[in-house]
Chains A and B, each alone.
Chain A
């Protein structure tokens, strides 16, 4: 293989997936398979020996999962890029993989052409996301903020006591402030929640699990 070839490591607990990926890698001159591992822990070990440029990382594996392994590899071998390659497309997983330092997130329905270009992009530090992963991220980013995101610390405290069913005098007593101060806080909470009554506010808080 040429000196400039991209060193690739495959991490997947399914032997047939490793078989497919290794067969696929054979036809590209600039890609070189340098190691295979069947779980995250083994992958981390192998990284030390083979120093890959790009790791194709399954997410759901026994012993050490893909997210944990990605984070560890990115910390210990910053020059290695990780592409998450998975059949799962849960919202949480995409974000977790990216937060752990993956530069790509592809589903296991990606074509050979797309996969090879994703590997080359990753090697150059460019991200590739499957359309599904992109959509999940966009949806997550566009979600309206949860009610209560703009409450002050004091208002949170008042809300918690309000949910317990305390009246203003009792809340004032608990927090060591005057009743009129509590009244101000309660009005602020109602207006930020966009509700009319403290009962509605309490119901909203409980419905969104704002108060544990």
Chain B
């Protein structure tokens, strides 16, 4: 027995894993190798005799006690539990448990392996993966938001940057000439309120100095002696010292399109040497997206200006055409009027009326043309006068009498006034083109106290079924858009054979007064 007992002890001690034998009945350690003791911070002798509660944390111990009762010869249970050392520190343990008879007692042998390192590295990996996944998702989101935004939202770019790169303060700058102009800054309130300001650079060559390779520049210590830090201080200290206040680390990220720098993102952190290469790469991706948005926004603005110009030209052309037609007609009538008069007095008188109306109409069209060419006239003039102009033009153009009645008095914000004018213009155009109306009544009502304004255009024409008109027709969708844009309510009522009623009501929003 003795040799085998020694051999057993040798194997026991030589095992690469901790070995613990516990009594099934008491749950106490009846034997263990030195390694098992060392794992838990005990000498082997001290470890023997411990209850399971003293080296396994409660949740793991419950499973241990259950296994202790359940285990039968031939069973192998595997468990992952958190063990506790003598000094109360913990570690992850992987156990293989099997049944064993030890000196006549039914026992359970655990082969214990400390896997803390593995678990930790797995967790680290998991966290890494999560971080990267979050970064990827944020970058994707950045890219999607920016790509879908036609107007530049510089603040949004910085906010999204913060989701993947923790900074204390940051600014997105556009390059205007050789000035850096902040489009947005993020940081303490006084800094954010300092916008707008300009940072003058010493000529274009300084920018090349800022981004020698169009690559981000990391400055570990803003008060350091290296040239990048000195250079940063040289133009920030006098012009935007706030950007540096309390900051230790700085990073410049160029905003460039096709290697031409159009701006920069500056991020700062109050921790020394905070920014890593990885940060620089992330920020550069966001900066590239920002560059695309800036260019897009620019193009969009141009396109919008162009569209407005085109629309104005089209209107001017239409009006010019209308004036031409009226004058051509008036000229013909004037030319034949003397002969007409000789032949038939009454007829001559009637034609003279036509002539007068045509010329008045042409005059109105001319004045509208001037209004269209000088858009401030639209907002400077009295709305009622503008409506009378449109009415008089319609009478001349379509020989439909139009009345304009105005009740109350008031003033409108510029956009609302333009919306009313356009609605009337569009509405009268529809009347002229489609209604075959004999009479049109325009009513403009200024609300007595609430500042609300209502315009109503009624015609006695052939009407239509509003439900059957697709929104693309008769400029209805444009009317709705215009009404929506100024927060006005548009209503269209008509029935076949019953004429039509077009109305728009606008009321000042409470907050509008503050703005």
Report which A residues bind B (CB closer than 8 A).
14-17, 19-21, 23-24, 26-27, 62, 87, 108-109, 111-113, 115
A21 pairs with B332, CB closer than 8 A: yes
Contact with A along B319-341 (1 / 0, CB 8 A): 00110111011111101100110
B329 pairs with A21, CB closer than 8 A: yes
What is the distance, in angstroms, from B455's C-beta to the closest C-beta of chain A?
A: 25
**Given the contacts A27-B340, A87-B324, A16 and B396 also touching, CB distance less than 8 Å:** yes
* CB of B399 closer than 8 Å to a CB of A: yes
B336 pairs with A16, CB closer than 8 A: no
Across the interface, A87 reaches (CB within 8 A) one of B321, B340, B358, B397, namely: B321
A-B contact pairs, 11 of them (CB 8 A): A16-B325, A17-B328, A17-B329, A19-B354, A23-B351, A26-B336, A87-B328, A111-B331, A112-B335, A113-B335, A115-B332
Residue of A nearest to B320 (CB): A87
A115 neighbours in B (Cβ, 8 Å): 332
A20 neighbours in B (Cβ, 8 Å): 328-333, 358
**Given the contacts A15-B398, A16-B399, A20-B358, A108 and B336 also touching, CB distance less than 8 Å:** no
Residue of B nearest to A18 (CB): B329
B343 pairs with A27, CB closer than 8 A: yes
Residue of A nearest to B337 (CB): A23
Contact with A along B234-263 (1 / 0, CB 8 A): 000000000000000000000000000000
Q: Looking at chain B, what size class is its interface with the partner chain? A: 20 to 34
B396 pairs with A112, CB closer than 8 A: no
Name, among A15, A20, A87, A111, the residue most crowded by chain B CB atoms within 10 Å (CB to CB): A20
Report which B residues bind A (CB closer than 8 A).
321-322, 324-326, 328-333, 335-336, 339-340, 343, 347, 351, 354, 358, 361, 396-399, 433
Interface of B is mostly: helix
B397 pairs with A16, CB closer than 8 A: yes
A17 pairs with B336, CB closer than 8 A: no
Interface of A is mostly: helix
B339 neighbours in A (Cβ, 8 Å): 27
Residue of A nearest to B350 (CB): A23
B399 pairs with A19, CB closer than 8 A: yes
B322 neighbours in A (Cβ, 8 Å): 14
What is the distance, in angstroms, from B357's C-beta to the closest C-beta of chain A?
A: 9
Residue of A nearest to B347 (CB): A26
B325 neighbours in A (Cβ, 8 Å): 14, 16-17, 87, 108
Across the interface, B326 reaches (CB within 8 A) one of A16, A62, A109, A111, namely: A16
A62 neighbours in B (Cβ, 8 Å): 433
> Complex formed: what's the CA distance from A21 to B331 in Å?
10
A23 pairs with B330, CB closer than 8 A: no
Kindly list the 9 A-B residue pairs having the minimum CB-CB distance in the complex, ordered from nearest: A20-B329, A112-B335, A108-B328, A20-B332, A27-B339, A24-B332, A27-B336, A14-B325, A16-B329
> Complex formed: what's the CA distance from A175 to B77 in Å?
82
A112 neighbours in B (Cβ, 8 Å): 331-332, 335-336
> Complex formed: what's the CA distance from A16 to B365 in Å?
13
A19 neighbours in B (Cβ, 8 Å): 329, 333, 354, 358, 399
> Complex formed: what's the CA distance from A37 to B354 in Å?
20
A21 neighbours in B (Cβ, 8 Å): 329, 332
A108 neighbours in B (Cβ, 8 Å): 324-325, 328
What is the distance, in angstroms, from A61's C-beta to the closest C-beta of chain B?
A: 11
> Complex formed: what's the CA distance from A204 to B167 in Å?
58
**Given the contacts A24-B333, A24-B335, A87-B328, A16 and B347 also touching, CB distance less than 8 Å:** no
